[in-house]
Amino acid sequence: MSSAIEVRGLRKTYPSKKNGEKIAVAGIDLQVKSGEIFALLGPNGAGKTTTVEILEGYRDRDCGEVSVLGFDPNNLGSNGSKWRNKIGIVLQSTKDAEDLTVSEVVSHFAKYYSNPKDPLNVIESVGLSDKSKARINTLSGGQRRRLDVALGIIGRPEILFLDEPTTGFDPEARRAFWDLIRALKSEGVTILLTTHYLDEAEALADRVAVIVDGKIIETSTPENLGGRNTAKARVSWLENGSRKEVLTDFPTKEVTNLVERFGEEVPELTVTRPTLEEIYISLIGGEVE
Ligand code: ATP
C-alpha cells in the first residue's frame, strides 16, 4: 500500500516569552497509508494541531521531511492548486461568512474545486438539510461544526484532515458523523484526524499515534495500543454483598471456577479488558510531568 503522508524528523518551535522558545513538535516520524484512517491522540498542547497544520501547508516547519500525496506542502511550486484540489481540511473552527446561509456557503466553496460533490448531497450527508436556508450565525455549535465538515468534503478530497471534528456534537450527531467518515473511507479517502475522544478513535481509526510533548510515544492499532491485546482480563462479581474482582490471563478458567462454586448464575458477573481510554491514560501518565 502506498503512503498518503510521509513525515521524517519533523520539528517546530514557537517563540516563547517565558523561556525563549517552545518546542511544539520535537522530531516526529509518521506514515499514513493511502485509504487508512489515522488518529493523532495526545493531551492539550501535545503538538497535534501544529503537526496537522504543517501537513496542510498552513504552517512552516523548522526542519524535517514532509510529503503529502507526493508533494511537500511548503514547496508546491506550480502544483499548488492541483494539490489543494485533492486536500480537504476541517479546521478547529471557522468564523467567515456569518451572514450567508448554509447552502450559499457550501455552494460557494464548491466553486473552488474542479470536481466538487453536489452541495445539497453534502449538506444532507452532514445532517443539515433542515438548516440549509439558515444563516450561519444562527447555527448551534454542533451544527456549525457539521458545516465545517461539509466544507472539508465538498471538493471530493483524496485526503481529509479533521482537527477535533466532533467537539460539541451530541451523541447522535457523533454517530452520524462516524458513519459519514466510514462512507468516505469506503470511497478510498485517506483520513487524518485528531481527537480527544477515545471512543471516536476506537470506532474509526485503523491506527493511532499518541503524541506527548511533541514526540510520538507509540503508534499502533486501537486494539493493540500499549499491549492492550495482551493485558489481563478483569473478572468481577458480587459476593456476600460486596464486589470481588480478579485480574487474570485466564478469564475462562476463572469464570468456570466461579460457576462451579456458585452452582448457579454468578451474581452481576462481568469480564472486561482495559478500554482504550484506560490504556491511553496510563501511557500518557508515564510521560506527562
Ligand atoms: P490541543 O489538544 O489543545 O488542541 P495540540 O496537541 O493540538 O493541543 P498544539 O496546538 O499543536 O497542541 O500546540 C503545541 C504547543 O505549541 C503548545 O504548547 C502551544 O501552546 C504551542 N503553540 C501552538 N501554537 C502556537 C503559536 N502560534 N505561538 C506560540 N505557541 C504556540
pLDDT tens by residue, 77-87: 899 989 999 99
Query: What pLDDT sits at residue 96?
Result: 65
Q: What is the mean pLDDT of residues 86-101?
A: 77
Q: How far is CA 3 from CA 86, 159, 206, 258, in A?
A: 15, 11, 14, 50
pLDDT at 131 over 90: yes
Q: Are 222 and 236 a contacting pair, CB within 8 Å?
A: no
Pocket test for ligand 1, best of 10, 40, 50 (most atoms within 8 A of CB): 50
Domain boundary among 157, 179, 207: 157
Q: Which residues contact 67 (CB under 8 A, 6 or more apart)?
A: 3, 5, 6, 7
List pocket residues of ligand 1, CB cut-off 6 Å.
Answer: 14, 22, 24, 42, 44-50
Work out the average pLDDT over 91-112: 82
Task: Return the pLDDT at 93.
Answer: 56
Cβ contacts of 174 within 8 Å, gap of 6 or more = 166, 197, 200
Question: What percentage of the chain has pLDDT greater than the value 90?
Answer: 75
Q: Mean of the pLDDT values across residues 222-230? A: 90
72 neighbors 143 (Cβ within 8 angstroms): no
Q: What is the enclosing helix (H) or strand (E) of 272?
A: strand 270-272
Residues 41, 215: Cα–Cα separation, whole Å:
11
Most ligand 1 atoms within 8 A of CB, residue of 22, 163, 166 to mutate? 22
In a domain, 277, yes or no: no
Residue nearest to atom 9 of ligand 1 (CA): 47
Within this chain, do residues 51 and 164 fall inside the same structural domain, yes or no?
yes
**Nearest residue CA, atom 1 of ligand 1?**
44
Do 1 and 131 belong together in one domain?
A: no
pLDDT digits (tens, 9 = 90+) for 207-218: 999 999 999 999
The answer to whether residues 3 and 67 belong to one domain is yes
Mean pLDDT of 190-210: 96
Torsion of CA 166, 31, 70, 8, to 10 degrees: 110
Q: Is residue 289 part of a domain?
A: no
Residues of the chain above pLDDT 70, percent: 96
Give the structural domain span for 45: 1-79+158-168+188-225
- The residue to mutate among 21, 25, 41, 49, having the most atoms of ligand 1 within 8 angstroms of its beta carbon, is 49
* Closest C-alpha to ligand 1, atom 21: 24
Res 108: pLDDT? 92
In this structure, what CATH number is given to the domain that contains residue 200?
A: 3.40.50.300
- Asked if pLDDT for residue 11 goes beyond 80, the answer is yes
Taking CA atoms only, the protein residue closest to ligand 1 atom 30 is 14
Strand 3-16 relative to strand 20-33, pairing: antiparallel
Q: Is residue 141 part of a domain?
A: yes
C-alpha grid cell, residue 19: 523561556
Instruction: Please state the pTM of the whole predicted model.
Output: 0.89
According to the model, what pLDDT value does residue 288 have? 47
Measure the CA–CA gap between 83 and 77, rounded to whole angstroms: 10
Same domain, 94 and 147: yes
Atom of ligand 1 nearest to the CA of 211: 6
Same domain (yes/no): 96, 65: no
pLDDT at 289 (0 to 100): 43
The CA R_g of the chain, rounded to the nearest whole Å, is 22
Same domain, 253 and 237: yes
Are 164 and 196 in a shared domain? yes
Average the pLDDT over each of 73-77, 93-97, 125-129 and give the range with the smallest value: 93-97
Cβ atoms of 276 and 225 within 8 Å: the answer is yes
- Kindly state whether residue 180 falls inside one of the protein's structural domains: no
Please, what is the Cα angle at 167 between 163 and 173, to 5 degrees? 115
Which residues, 6 or more positions from 148, have their beta carbon under 8 angstroms from its beta carbon? Answer: 90, 91, 93, 94, 165
Q: How far is the CA of 52 from the centre of ligand 1 (A)?
A: 11
Task: Determine the Cα–Cα distance for residues 135 and 138; give it in Å rounded to an integer.
Answer: 6
pLDDT digits (tens, 9 = 90+) for 21-44: 899 999 999 999 999 999 999 999
Q: Does residue 250 fall inside a structural domain?
A: yes
Judge if 194 and 209 occupy the same domain: yes
Give residue-wise pLDDT tens across range 246-273.
999 999 999 999 999 999 899 999 999 8
Query: What does the pLDDT read at residue 229?
Result: 86
Mode of pairing for the β-strands spanning 63-68 and 3-16:
antiparallel
What integer pLDDT is reported at residue 286 of this predicted model?
Answer: 60
- Dist. CA 222–CA 280, nearest whole Å: 10
Put the strands of the sheet holding 3-16 in their side by side order: 20-33, 3-16, 63-68
Query: Tell me, what's the pLDDT at 92?
Result: 57
For residues 209-228, average pLDDT: 94
Ligand 1 centre distance from Cα of residue 55 (Å): 15
Write down the pLDDT at residue 167: 83
Say whether pLDDT at 99 is over 70: yes
Return the higher-pLDDT residue of 19 and 153. Answer: 153
Q: For ligand 1, atom 18, which residue shows the shortest CA distance? A: 45
Please name the helix (run of DSSP H) or strand (run of DSSP E) that holds residue 16, with its range, or none: strand 3-16
Neighbours of 110 (CB within 10 A): 18
CA of 198 to the centre of ligand 1 (A): 20
Residue 152 belongs to a domain: yes
Indicate whether 39 belongs to any domain: yes
Cell of 45: 498542547
Within a domain: residue 176?
Answer: no
Residue 202 has pLDDT above 60, yes or no: yes
Check whether residue 112 and residue 144 sit in a common domain. yes
| Centre of ligand 1 from the C-alpha of residue 21, in Å | 12
Q: Give CA–CA dist 238/268, Å, rounded.
A: 6
Judge if 196 and 108 occupy the same domain.
no
For position 18, what pLDDT does the model report?
A: 75
pLDDT band for position 94 (cuts 50, 70, 90): low
**What average pLDDT score do residues 121-143 get?**
92
**Is it the case that residue 155 has pLDDT exceeding 90?**
yes
Count of the separate structural domains present in the chain = 3
38 and 164 belong to one structural domain: yes
197 and 75 in one domain?
A: yes
Please choose from 13, 23, 28, 44 the residue to mutate so as to test ligand 1's pocket, defined by most ligand atoms within 8 A of CB.
44
